Amino acid sequence: MTTRHTTLRRLAISMVPVLFVAGLAGSCVPHPTESDPLAQYYKQDLAFGSCAEFATTALEDLVFDAVEEAECAYLQVPVDYEDPRGETAQVAVTRLAADGNPIGSLVVNPGGPGGSGLLQGVVADANLAGTPITENFDIIGMDPRGVGASTPSADCVSDESADQGGNLFPQAALQGSWSAEQTQELVERCAEASGGENFLANVGTRDAARDLDVLREVLGDETLSYLGQSYGTRLGAVYAEMFPENVRALVLDGAADPTLGTVERRITQYTGFQAAFDSMATDCSKEEDCILGTDPDQAVEKFQSITRPLIDEPITTAAGRTVDYNVAVGAVTAGLYNSEQWPDVLAGIEELAAGRADTLLAISDEFGMRDENGVWGNYLEANFAVNCMDEERRTPEQEEEFRAEVRGVAPFMDPGDGVAGARDGCEAWPADPDLGFPYAEHPEGLPETLTISVTGDPASPYEGGLSLSKQLDGAHLTVEGKQHTIAMSGANDCVNEAVADYLVDLEVPEEDARCIA
């Protein structure tokens, strides 16, 4: 199970270029009264049973076959909370029972948006086995609306199209151009295969937070205990803003800064990835045969000389898969999340120089949740859809300026061509963003929370966690290391103890507490 757990944890990492917002400032949401049509959702019973029908990829089949104790069920929720008698959606939930007598449920979220909560529930339960956390809590994983086994699920691109590479989503494209007609067609495909425009208009984080509150009550918990990483910190923080009095404990691991707008925050992320690339190149330079050379100052230029030819001449693998510039550099960026994967990234770059792309393609497939049968999970599509309802919209001119900024702070991603043709893929979305910015500003009535930040986190820079903890008036734990998130890995005794003390006994770490990864 060790290899599988490592793989699943990597899949639970958030998407690089598209993570987290302008719109409406949130406010507390009252509990529905008996006469409120929403009350029916809060009173439903979950029929937990086999998880077999919930597997959407071969990997999930493998995991659910191996973990017989996992139970799954569907939670019914309204598509539009302003129209609770209208269309409904089903949110997929998994439960792994506590080892002892549970004091309640612990809901976990892996990030993304778009990461599989069902898989993360299994991973968290396995990684934290033998700790007070699994002894005292039923571990609950939830695929947020639009994600994975939840229905409708975001579906915008066919498996065949995904296999051919290219610029599937404008925000994720490092190179290339889009037209207004193409973004319109993309949204039309999403609507047609994802439950219609009404669902696309209600797939954002605020609706997911309302689903989370329904789940809390249906599970029988008076207040919510929650552990979210990466994007999951946004979901948890928004829940805290909307339902502060329904919170028991929130652990928010690898947080983005809730005070930064879309462009500002993404620039900090790309800056973090450049720092990770530089650190990887420095480590590599100590070896005489380093593919990036023995001078770290020349590593970016060496990398560009290897990757830029892919713009005009993509590599076609023996299986007929296309690896172009966007796929290759996206795979390298995905591998920068955790320093443990840097050897694989360097091996992949070395293969590129020799005209092969198998290793980087494998990293890309793992990140995008593509299984060995060629079936893609909907991680990237859900990521796109949720962010369309969360992120600030930008004009083509603003998007071109942003692309130029990215290349300035992260030159390893610079393809060396112009910025013309950059575009916001959400410009034709059927509804305006509704997250609100900044979010979770000092929610009244919120109990103590715990935010965890890793000093060398490339995707969620350390300062973002400090900002979130201040916004929530909560406690903060610093972890010295080079990775994205740590609380659900179970690999660090110091972190395990701090998280367990907080979740079980509601005791937060001392001010300026630190762990070493």
Tokens found for residue 295? 């001078």
Distances in Å between the Cα of 329 and the Cα atoms of 58, 75, 347, 414, 444 are: 26, 38, 14, 10, 43
What is the C-alpha to C-alpha distance for residues 453 and 427, in angstroms, rounded to an integer? 33
What is the C-alpha to C-alpha distance for residues 20 and 383, in angstroms, rounded to an integer? 9
Nearest CA to 381 among 230, 205, 172, 231? 172
What is the C-alpha to C-alpha distance for residues 494 and 214, in angstroms, rounded to an integer? 33
104-109 vs 224-229, strand pairing mode: parallel
SS3 state at 510: coil
Hey, which residues are catalytic here? 230, 457, 484
Q: Which residues of 180-192 are buried (b: 16+ CB within 10 A; e: fewer)?
A: eeebeebbebbbe
Give every CB contact of residue 146 below 8 A, 6+ residues apart in sequence.
152, 153, 154, 194, 199, 203, 378, 382, 385, 386
Secondary-structure breakdown of the chain: helix, strand, coil percentages, each rounded to the nearest 5: 45, 15, 45
What is the C-alpha to C-alpha distance for residues 288 and 296, in angstroms, rounded to an integer? 12
Of the CA atoms within 13 Å of residue 310, those in its CB half-sphere come to 33
Q: What are phi and psi of 58, to 5 degrees?
A: -60, -35
